[in-house]
Amino acid sequence: MRLAIATIDSFAEKAFQGNPAAVVLLEEELTAVQMQQIAMEMNLSETAFVQKRDRAHHFNLRWFTPTLEIDLCGHATLASAFWMIQRGWSKIGEEMTFATKSGPLQVRNEGDVLEMNFPLLKTEVRTHPHFSTEFMGKKVLRGAELRKNWILELENADAVESCHPDFMEIAAHSEEGIIITAAGKDGFDIYSRFFGPNVGVPEDPVTGFAHCALMDYWFQRTGKKRLKAYQASKRGGQMEIEENENRVLIRGRAVAVFEGFIHF
């Protein structure tokens, strides 16, 4: 079998920024085993697989890390929608609806910006049983729990940027991963980073999923419904998030960096 595949940098203004995802637009159905093998071969944080449905503008979408299938991924959804427009699977101005493990997700084009409509992930303020006061030498102000993940708020944006994670320790004290965050700087409302060693992603460069939870966390903290967010990984990436009736609107850009074929 010969499949076209592309690598897209999401939440990026230019190549080699943001978060790369592989995207496969399927003309034929693949098994979950085949999808997992391709994701392992690509070895990116996520590989997305899109397949047309019977209804116009409706598609199936699945996401795989190198080790397992996941329920929700923002940057690979953004990458998929961007590449679908480039390949003529959708047109500028059309809304795309994706059937996923997290329910239906909508993406629409706003010129050079894509807007994703994702579920708001509820967070509950709670003290982490291990990182109650300190995380990798940085003071923890408060914590919050969401399904399979934790949020830890640090003192400031500089603490988020300069944090040096011990992935073995994080893996031992989390189910999926840990999001660190703080009030932002340089025109951004919030800063964050996401560590997910237990899902095969030691540090994810820019994470849409995490911001579905961060929107809820910071809305509870500040009452603000619209935030400009920066994920302070080495690659860096930015987005705008907005609370909208228990949903999160995530706006960002994407750039194509590679196109080729995979044979198996």
Give the global pTM: 0.91
- In this structure, are 128 and 105 located in the same domain? no
Distance CA 72, CA 65 (A): 11
pLDDT at 164 over 80: yes
6 contacts 23 by C-beta, under 8 angstroms:
yes
Instruction: Grade residue 93 by pLDDT with cuts at 50, 70 and 90.
Output: confident
- Average pLDDT score over the chain: 96
85 contacts 107 by C-beta, under 8 angstroms:
no
- In this structure, are 142 and 234 located in the same domain? yes
- In this structure, are 230 and 143 located in the same domain? yes
As beta bridge partners, residue 260 has 5
- In this structure, are 114 and 8 located in the same domain? yes
- In this structure, are 222 and 129 located in the same domain? yes
| pLDDT above 70 as % of the chain | 100
Residues 100-147 pLDDT 10s: 999 999 999 877 899 999 999 999 999 999 999 999 999 999 999 998
As beta bridge partners, residue 128 has none
- In this structure, are 88 and 141 located in the same domain? no
- In this structure, are 133 and 206 located in the same domain? yes
Q: Are β-strands 138-146 and 149-154 bridged in parallel, bridged antiparallel, or unpaired?
A: antiparallel
- In this structure, are 105 and 203 located in the same domain? no
- In this structure, are 102 and 55 located in the same domain? yes
pLDDT value, residue 228 = 98
- In this structure, are 257 and 183 located in the same domain? no
Token pair for 247: 């949903």
Q: Which residues are catalytic?
A: 46
- In this structure, are 200 and 238 located in the same domain? yes
Q: How many independent structural domains does the chain possess? A: 2
- In this structure, are 111 and 133 located in the same domain? no
- First-to-last alpha carbon distance for the chain, in angstroms, is 5
List phi, psi (to 5°) of 97.
-115, 125
pLDDT value, residue 238 = 95
**How many residues would you count in the chain?**
264
182: domain CATH number is 3.10.310.10
Range of the domain at 59: 2-118+251-263
Token pair for 29: 């159905």
Distance CA 43, CA 201 (A): 10
Contacts for 171 with CB less than 8 Å, ≥ 6 apart: 197, 198
pLDDT at 249 over 90: yes
Distance CA 174, CA 217 (A): 18
115 contacts 251 by C-beta, under 8 angstroms:
yes
